[in-house]
Amino acid sequence: MRRHVFFRIVDALSNVYPYFQQRVDATGRRGLSPLQKCNAAIWMLAYGIAADAFDDYVRIGESTAIECLEKFVECVISVLKDEYLRKPNSNDVRCLLQMAEGHGFLGVLGSIDCMHWQ
């Protein structure tokens, strides 16, 4: 994922949902940042990393990592569905085909059809 897309998602979620805002607990310690929460969720989605693997890397416990993933998915669907979870329009398809052609993948959209595997 490109950096600007990641930060756009983090900003969108932290502006709308209090769960993705950094809070201070009763002892005055700062909680997890929106970056930590979104990073953990995206790593679990993208790489299939177990929730208990984040304790050393991002300082998130297993139950918190699972909660981050659940909240992340719910929030992304509700906040960003109109932009990122929609069917591509003709301009999107044209851009995708141009990018794929530049990399030598002609007819890339047609290659997704796997009906012959049944």
pLDDT tens, position by position, 33-85: 999 999 999 999 988 888 888 777 777 888 999 999 999 999 999 988 887 78
Residue 84 or 92, more confident: 92
Confidence band for 105, pLDDT divided at 50, 70 and 90: confident
Q: Are residues 21 and 46 in the same domain?
A: yes
In this structure, the answer to whether residues 17 and 34 fall within a common structural domain is yes
With pLDDT > 70 as the criterion, what percentage of the chain qualifies?
A: 90
Give the separation between CA 89 and CA 74, rounded to whole angstroms. 24
Under a CB-based contact definition with an 8 Å cutoff, are residues 60 and 68 in contact? yes
Rounded average pLDDT over 80-102 = 85
101 φ/ψ angles, rounded to the nearest 5 degrees: -65, -40
> Does 17 lie in the same domain as 72?
yes
Domain count, the chain: 2
Comparing CA positions, the residue from 59, 65, 61, 13 lying closest to residue 34 is: 13
Both 92 and 82 in one domain: the answer is no
Can you give the pLDDT at residue 103?
78
**Structural domain of 56:** 3-86
**In a shared domain, residues 50 and 82:** yes
Let me know whether 66 and 13 are in one domain.
yes
Q: Do 44 and 12 belong to one domain? A: yes
Give the pLDDT confidence score for residue 28 in this predicted structure: 92
pLDDT at 102: 81
